[in-house]
Amino acid sequence: MSLLLQIIIFLGASLIIVPLTKKLGISTVLGYLITGVILGPSILNLAHDSAAIMQLANFGVIFLMFLIGLELRPQRLWQMREAIFFMGSLQVFITGGIFMLILWLLLQQSIAASFALGFALALSSTSFVLQLLTEKQTLNTTYGQSSFSILLFQDMAAIPLLAVIPLLVGTSSAHHGIAYFAAIIATFSGLFLFSRFVMRPFFRFVAQSGATELITAVALFIVLAVVLLMDTLEISTTLGAFLTGVLLADSEFRHELEASIAPFKGLLLGLFFMTVGMMTQLSVLFTHPILILGGALALLLIKMATLTAIARYYRYNWKNSILIGAALAQGGEFAFVIFNAAYGENIISHAILEPITLIVTLSIILTPCLLWLLQRFVMPRIESKPTNMPEVEDVPNPHPPMIIAGFGRVGQIIARIAHLQHIPFTAIDSNLKQIDFVRKYGGTLYYGDATQPDLLRAAGIEHTQILVLAIDDVEDALNTARHVLLHYPHVTILARARDRHHVHLLKDLGVHHIWRETYLSSLGMAHRVLRVLGVDEKEAMQKIDLFRDEDEKLLAAQQQVYTDEHKVFETYRDALAELEHLFESDTQKAISEQDHLESSDTHPKERIRIARNQAE
């Protein structure tokens, strides 16, 4: 069976099985694992060349590491320093040390194997936990943010673990010793200089050319070129991808890169999990059920107890401490990566690889069950007990309440007023010149096209309250509004329209708050014209208000027929005649009132003059 046919089978099966598992409340990661198990030798045995598929699927891990590196901006690391570096390091070292001692003393494994397996088991599943927290809408709670911080440290810890695997088998070869680390230092020094003086100017060159679709090509080129360089120098490819992401974390193109790489990462990472599932031997479960089930339960309980104790040490309440421990109790995707790396270096045998892989897989499957049991039976009892410890359930939402899509004339004015009111905002624009302007007014600019769903998600569209749609291009504005109304109906859209036809198109989509870009300025100018020509203030305001009210009525009437040019012309003609009649009526009314006023003013004078004549 050809590799292409196997990949088609994998993708087709995932399109059926993964949505079904989602409907059953099972996470996507587990859905991919189940798909792999079904296609693998344990059940259907449809795919045979698992090594070739794994080679392709490993790019999912590479892209994942690149995106993790993009997230590690210095400012973010500093804000989360305690949870990342203190709690995270304690968890990895304590849990890894416990597992290492168990494997060495009780299971009689070698020091190298115990180290590799023990610290691999200390890592949790980043993709699984983040997806689980997002689905339960608990990512922005105290335990959600703390779990995310620990996961960040675990992801960083996976890099040196992968790098040290070759050293565990000895230092006889040149690239395993000092020369190996010298090559790493030299390579990443070169990458730092390359990113600073070549990569970023090249990004600007591509962006200024107007061919924004090439940003995706540039992102893929950078990641794949670094992977090729790392592979040539026999340095960890995941290490290279991670540090390349870190080097670009402060770049103004970070969000565009993230949006470009994310679809490839998700697809290939899913293929990676399917391959892991395919390589999982269910026969081992039936042969050694006590070992597999006992190992999975021991993994969950040891990690949960360790994490709960660490959280309590840092003065988290019992509820958050237990939830942090339960959320991170499972093994993770990097455990699979480290297992395969250790197996490739002959540190562990195939007899160890099969059961330990199945234990980690089973721990992932059991994690949602563990969280459900805790929420159902344990949390109510804890919440009913009084506590003297400070209870902080929710942390401030890190996402600004407003996104401004299009940072031209309209978007800038709104941003300046928001800045005066101390309202944070996120801007999306494809103009590089706006970056400094946005930062000056306390916002964050996501460089790229607002019509891209991935970029909107990266900007936090699911958490925002208001989307200011100030995009100049009519088609792009309509596409963005259509996507947001369909997928994020809770977001209030405030839209800028170029003309009346644009208003009709937006109203057809369901947008209710629309401003024509030159309408209010035209009314203001018309008011000034009337004042300069001698019309008093009150009458000028009345004329402007009358025109505005009638124009809004006309706009509403044309909404039903705006696709028929003849009927639109008729409504214009009728409205113009009606408006002319209203203006004439107002003019006649004003003249009549003036004549009446003058008449009422002259009659008393005339009576006084007559009375004086009679007296004389």
Per-residue three-class SS string for 242-262: HHHHHHCCCCCCHHHHHHHHH
Q: Judge whether 526 lies within some domain.
A: no
* DSSP secondary structure of 361-428: HHHHHHHHHHHHHIIIIIHHHHHHS--SS----B---SS-SEEEE--SHHHHHHHHHHHHTT--EEEE
438 and 355 both lie in a single domain: no
Domain with residue 238: its CATH number is: 1.20.1530.20
Instruction: Tell me how far apart the alpha carbons of residues 116 and 340 are, in angstroms, rounded to a whole number.
Output: 11
Are 318 and 245 in contact by the 8 Å Cβ rule? The answer is: no
Q: What angle do CA 76, 452, 515 make, to 5 degrees?
A: 100
354 and 409 both lie in a single domain: no
pLDDT at 233: 72
pLDDT at 354: 84
Closest CA to 309 of 293, 332, 329: 329
342 and 458 both lie in a single domain: no
Domain end, chosen from 474, 498, 517, is at: 517
pLDDT at 122: 94
257 and 138 both lie in a single domain: yes
CB crowding 144-168: b at 16 or more within 10 Å, else e: bbbbbbbbbbbbbbbbebbbebbeb
Q: Tokens 């890894």 appear where?
A: 96
Q: Judge whether 281 lies within some domain.
A: no
Identify the three-state secondary structure at position 446.
strand
Cα dist. 208→91, 253, 439, 472 in Å?
Answer: 46, 12, 20, 18
Residues of the chain with pLDDT under 70: 1, 47-54, 56-57, 71-80, 131, 134-135, 137, 139-140, 170-181, 183-184, 210-213, 234-236, 238-239, 250, 252, 279, 383-398, 432-443, 561-616
Domain end, chosen from 320, 350, 384, is at: 384
325 and 416 both lie in a single domain: no
Give the residue ranges of DSSP H helices in 122-166: 126-135, 142-164
pLDDT at 173: 42
414 and 380 both lie in a single domain: no
Are 311 and 127 in contact by the 8 Å Cβ rule? The answer is: no
Number of domains in the chain: 2
Domain end, chosen from 517, 552, 584, is at: 517
305 and 245 both lie in a single domain: yes
Q: Judge whether 432 lies within some domain.
A: yes
Q: Judge whether 557 lies within some domain.
A: no
Q: Judge whether 8 lies within some domain.
A: no
Instruction: Tell me how far apart the alpha carbons of residues 264 and 131 are, in angstroms, rounded to a whole number.
Output: 17
**CB-count burial class (<10 Å; 0-12, 13-18, 19+) for 170:** exposed
Strands 425-429 and 492-497: unpaired
Domain hosting residue 483, numbered range = 402-517
Computed on alpha carbons and rounded to an integer, the radius of gyration of the chain in Å comes to: 33
CB crowding 244-280: b at 16 or more within 10 Å, else e: bbbbbbebbbbbbbbbbbbebbbbbbbbbbbbbbbbb
Q: Judge whether 525 lies within some domain.
A: no
418 and 327 both lie in a single domain: no
Q: What is the pTM of this model?
A: 0.58
Instruction: Tell me how far apart the alpha carbons of residues 481 and 197 are, in angstroms, rounded to a whole number.
Output: 38
Are 50 and 278 in contact by the 8 Å Cβ rule? The answer is: yes
pLDDT at 171: 44
113 and 159 both lie in a single domain: yes
Instruction: Tell me how far apart the alpha carbons of residues 581 and 511 are, in angstroms, rounded to a whole number.
Output: 33
429 and 331 both lie in a single domain: no
Q: Which residues contact 523 (CB under 8 A, 6 or more apart)?
A: 544, 547, 548
181 and 114 both lie in a single domain: yes
pLDDT at 192: 76
Instruction: Tell me how far apart the alpha carbons of residues 358 and 287 are, in angstroms, rounded to a whole number.
Output: 12
Domain with residue 422: its CATH number is: 3.40.50.720
188 and 217 both lie in a single domain: yes
Q: Judge whether 443 lies within some domain.
A: yes
Instruction: Tell me how far apart the alpha carbons of residues 224 and 242 are, in angstroms, rounded to a whole number.
Output: 12
**What's the length of the chain?**
616
Q: Judge whether 565 lies within some domain.
A: no
